[in-house]
Amino acid sequence: MNKMVIYRDLGLIDYKEAWDYQEKLLNDIINVKIVNRTTNNQQPTTNYLLFCEHPHVYTLGKSGSEKHLLINEKQLAEKKATYYKINRGGDITYHGPGQIVGYPILDLDNFFTDIHKYLRYLEEMVILTLAEYGISSGRIKGQTGVWLDAEDPLKARKICAMGVRCSRWVTMHGFAMNVNSDLSYFNSIVPCGIIDKAVTSLDKELGRKVDVNEVKEKLKKHFAALFETELITEKETV
């Protein structure tokens, strides 16, 4: 078992480029696992945590509805946004500058083979990070992600969306935390297919812009503690 995690910050990167990169890392890990099943010479699998930001883009998960994208191709172009149907769970969401997107590419055989526990750990990482800014957050039963005023249906608003894929216990895709996001882009979708709840961001809640790198460091700290791992920082090599 290898519980070390390689951390790479990909900066601002095109969504499709990051998606292809995730697929490459996932397939590399799966190939090692396949070989390990046929030999006594066991090779450790590698784990990754990728952070990045994307240019404006809408992504639709495999369980989502295209009706939740409320604009047409011309309007997408006017907003300088792109649109992809992708192979994660969940419905439609938005990514853009000022949002921290995290892609853990983990072999859960190195940690625990429980996808629900995995999602709860990602949520807890965000919850603990928000607490450092004096913001109380939590979960809504039956809905993945992190919410403010989760217990009040009239005030509940999502600050972090999640959608993952898992193949042979190797994960990809992940979470999107709104830090200094332009929330107007969410007006063009039904976020995560939920029609009766709002979306928010860290800067909106605090009433000031937030240092994105500072937030990344807090997320990394809590990720390492929850997954009982050590992060090894490497430069991106997409």
Length of the chain: 238
Catalytic residue among 52, 160, 166, 192: 192
Q: Are the C-beta atoms of 230 and 2 separated by less than 8 Å?
A: no
- Cα–Cα distance, 151 to 184 (Å, whole number): 25
- Cα–Cα distance, 15 to 57 (Å, whole number): 7
- Cα–Cα distance, 227 to 111 (Å, whole number): 7
Is-catalytic flag, 192?
Answer: yes
CA max distance for the chain: 57
For residue 77, the SS3 value is helix
Question: Which token pair is 213?
Answer: 């790198």
Instruction: Write the Ramachandran bin of 93: left for phi over 0, alpha for psi from -120 to 50, otherwise beta.
Output: beta
Q: Residues with catalytic annotation?
A: 192
